[in-house]
Amino acid sequence: MTGFLCIATETIPAGLLPGIAHGLAVSPSLAGQLVTAYALGSVVAAIPLNTLTGAWPRRRVLLLTIAGFLVFNGVTAISADYRVTLAARFLAGASAGLAWSILAAYARRMVARPLQGRAMAVAMVGTPIALSIGVPLGTWLGAAVGWRATFAIMSGLALLLAGWVLIVMPNYPGQQPSDRLAIRHVLATPGVIPVLGVVMAWMTGHNLLYTYIAPFLAPVGLAPRVDLMLMVFGVAALLGIWVTGRLVDRALRAAVLASLGGFAAVALAFGMLPFSPALVIVGVAIWGLSFGGAATLLQTALADAAGPGAEVALSINVVVWNTAIAAGGLLGGVLLPLWGIAAFAWVLLIFLLVALAVAWGARSHGFPPGQRRHS
């Protein structure tokens, strides 16, 4: 639920931009920077906040992140000043950055090691749900009750979630500063850099296509049905998480290579085959299937590689992941006017082949073959 709240808070403004722009008396392009501010908050704050709260009990930190969504979505709902709203979005993004840096390690601590991958799959299920329905849900709510009420509803969800956490979530101690590894030591741990490299390449390619899905669908007349295509993607991603939950603990490497290979095959098909609605629908479904388990697979591999430095590594992962989101958006903005939407498939393929090469080479550390070690 916390992961769902992170992603939904990030993506919902995309479906509300005209109303937000009118309500704050700014242009749609300035309203769009509310999404940018959120991502920037995650990038800037993830590592410092994770370091600052590293010794705190884990439930207290989780509640702090949820309180951030409660407060800053509430501020967004009532603010009439663009600068205040922009600041609230930045701070909501900072809350998300802290949340993502602890969620994986928190989920892993709740179960025995042989079940850690499956626990991660369950914990990450909120992400594809939010990705598939975040924008359509925001658009529908905006039309039904207005964009301010939509953010107020998100704030109310955070309040309910905080109560749920207090009632049911176990608490765990944090790491004392003397036990916490420095960032440079974590990055020097064998396997950490290759996993982060795969994250950067895979997520940049994914976000290149995901951010510009509407113009990508336009040549086959599916641009007006972006909501339907996102639903296809989301349903396939949910199936991907289920498959990942079955495979992650006994065949993590194979699952990563298969996911990247499947997505690369889709990119190649988009580039070489005649573009048609059927090809796009099938391709989007395979893309969603391959992406659904990405967060589980990559964060499990990273935490395994980092060992006692897992939380630090996962906070670095937040920075890399959100940098990839920004990079995909910026790259698409450059490619679209220069070479058109047809170039996207080939550029995407390059990123996926790089990710495949790095994952393939990280056989000893990062993505080892066989069952995950339980010791």
pLDDT at site 135: 67
Mean residue pLDDT across the chain: 89
**Model confidence at 154: pLDDT above 90:** yes
Segment 24-45 shows an average pLDDT of 85
Interior CA angle at 307 toward 372 and 109, to 5°? 75
Cα–Cα distance between 281 and 260 in angstroms, integer? 19
**Torsion sign (Cα): 150, 30, 208, 184:** negative
Reference 235, options 291, 274, 275; nearest CA is 291
Write out pLDDT tens, residues 95-118: 999 998 888 889 888 998 888 888
> Which domains, and CATH codes, for the chain?
2-175 (1.20.1250.20), 183-361 (1.20.1250.20)
Cα–Cα distance between 141 and 147 in angstroms, integer? 7
Write out pLDDT tens, residues 216-252: 888 888 877 777 888 888 889 989 989 998 899 889 9
**Model confidence at 57: pLDDT above 80:** yes
Segment 180-190 shows an average pLDDT of 88
Segment 70-79 shows an average pLDDT of 97
Kindly give, in sequence order, each residue whose CB lies less than 8 Å from that of residue 42, ignoring residues fewer than 6 positions away.
93, 94, 96, 97, 100, 318, 319, 322
Cα–Cα distance between 69 and 71 in angstroms, integer? 6
Cα–Cα distance between 291 and 31 in angstroms, integer? 29
Write out pLDDT tens, residues 118-152: 888 888 888 878 877 776 777 788 888 999 999 99
pLDDT at site 269: 96
Greatest alpha-carbon span in the chain: 59
**Model confidence at 94: pLDDT above 90:** yes
pLDDT at site 375: 43
Q: 178: pLDDT confidence band, cut at 50, 70 and 90? A: low
Residue pair 303/314 in contact (Cβ under 8 Å)? The answer is yes
Cα–Cα distance between 178 and 164 in angstroms, integer? 32
User: What's the pTM value of the predicted model, to 2 decimals?
Assistant: 0.83
**Secondary structure (3-state) at 189:** coil
Side chain identity at residue 5, one-letter code:
L
Cα–Cα distance between 167 and 15 in angstroms, integer? 34
Q: Between these two residues, 15 and 149, which has the higher pLDDT value?
A: 149
Interior CA angle at 61 toward 150 and 129, to 5°? 40
pLDDT at site 373: 67
Q: 13: pLDDT confidence band, cut at 50, 70 and 90? A: confident
Cα–Cα distance between 347 and 96 in angstroms, integer? 29
- From the CB of residue 165, how many other CB atoms can be counted at a distance below 10 Å? 17
Segment 52-73 shows an average pLDDT of 95
**Model confidence at 169: pLDDT above 70:** yes
Q: What are phi and psi of 50, to 5 degrees?
A: -65, -40
Write out pLDDT tens, residues 257-285: 999 999 999 999 999 998 899 999 999 99
Q: Both tokens of residue 300?
A: 């499990």
**Model confidence at 358: pLDDT above 80:** yes
The beta-strand segments (E) located in 78-161 are none
- Between the CA atoms of 35, 37, 42 and 47, what dihedral angle is there, to the nearest 10 degrees? 170
- From the CB of residue 188, how many other CB atoms can be counted at a distance below 10 Å? 12
Residue pair 37/91 in contact (Cβ under 8 Å)? The answer is no
Cα–Cα distance between 122 and 118 in angstroms, integer? 6
pLDDT at site 101: 86
Q: Between these two residues, 178 and 38, which has the higher pLDDT value?
A: 38
